[in-house]
Amino acid sequence: MSTKKVVIISDATGQSGLHILRAALVQFEHAHTKIMLFHDIDSKAGLKKVLDQARADKALIAFTFVKKEMRDYTTSFCVKNKIFHLDILGPLIKNLASFLRLEPLETPSLLRKVDERYFKRIDAIEYTLGHDDGRDAKSLVDADIVIVGLSRTSKTPTSFFLAQEGYKVANVPIVPGIPLPEELFEIDQRKIVCLVIDPEVLQKIRKARQEKSSLTPSYSEFKEVFAECEYVWDLRKKHRIWKAVDTTNKSIEETAWEIIHHVFGDQHEEYN
C-alpha cells in the first residue's frame, strides 16, 4: 500500500488536530500515512501556499482554525479542488456558540496560554516540594518567594498554597542556635517574608501538635516559645528589608495573598 499524506494546518500549535488524527489512524491497522503539521498559519497568503502543496501531494487536509474566515477559505479551496478535507474545530465551535448563545473570540493560541499556566504551576509545585523545610538552600536564588519562620507558623501549607498559584516558594525554618543558610543572605532580600505569630497562639498550636508526636516538653513551654519569638524579633531588626506577615488567627489563604501583595504589590499575575 502506498503512503498517503495527511496535512494538518493550524493558526496555533496544531497539537489538538494531531492528537485527534493519531487517535483515529490507529484504527486502521495497515494504513501507511505521513503526517505533516503546519502551525501558526495566520494569513491567507501563507495558507494558500500550504494548500497548493497539499493539493499537489494529493493529501488529506485537516485544519484547526479558530477564525471562521480561515476555515471558510480552506473549505472553499478543498471543495473547489475536490480534496478530502476535515474541519476539526469548525463544527464544534459552531455548535457550542449555539448552545452557549455566545460569539467565539476567534483568538488563536488561547489554549497555549492555558497550557503555559498549567506547566508553570507544575514547575512551581515541584520546586516547592524540593525546597520545603530548608532543603536545597543552594538554589534559593531560583525562588519567587522565600518564607522564613519558627516551627508551626504555617510555612509549609502557605508555601504549597502559593505554589498552586504558580509561585516557586522555598521555606526555611528559624531555629535559635542554628545559623540560617548563607545562601539566604545572598539572594534578593526583598523576596524574603518572615512569618510571625502571637506567642500564646503559637504555644496552643504546638501543644496540639505535641499530643500527636514525641516532641520534647520544651517545644510547647511558654517560656521557650516566647524566647523563640523574641529571637525572631531580634532577627527582623537586623534584616529590616524582610517583609513580616502575622499569621495569628489567619487562614492560609489570607496569609498567602498578603505575602503576594508584600512581594509583588499589585503586579502579580492571577491564575484561573
> What pLDDT, on a 0 to 100 scale, did the predictor assign at position 271?
40
On the question of pLDDT at 106 being above 90, the answer is no
- Whole-structure pTM value: 0.61
CA distance linking residue 24 with residue 14, whole number of Å: 16
Which has the closest alpha carbon to 169: 102, 85, 90, 252?
252
Among 142-151, 185-194, 210-219, 221-230, which is the least confidently predicted range? 210-219
190 band by pLDDT with thresholds 50, 70 and 90: very high
> What pLDDT, on a 0 to 100 scale, did the predictor assign at position 113?
66
In terms of Cβ atoms closer than 10 Å to its own Cβ (0-12, 13-18, 19+), residue 249 is exposed
Grid coordinates representing 14 are 496544531
266 band by pLDDT with thresholds 50, 70 and 90: low
Work out the angle between the directed axes of helices 68-80 and 44-56 (0-180°, nearest 10).
30
Average pLDDT, the chain: 92
**Range 21-41 average pLDDT:** 92
From residue 95, alpha-carbon distances to 38, 91, 100 in Å are: 26, 6, 9
On the question of pLDDT at 43 being above 50, the answer is yes
Q: Please report the domains of the chain, with CATH numbers, ordered by start residue.
A: 4-108 (3.40.50), 113-264 (3.40.50)
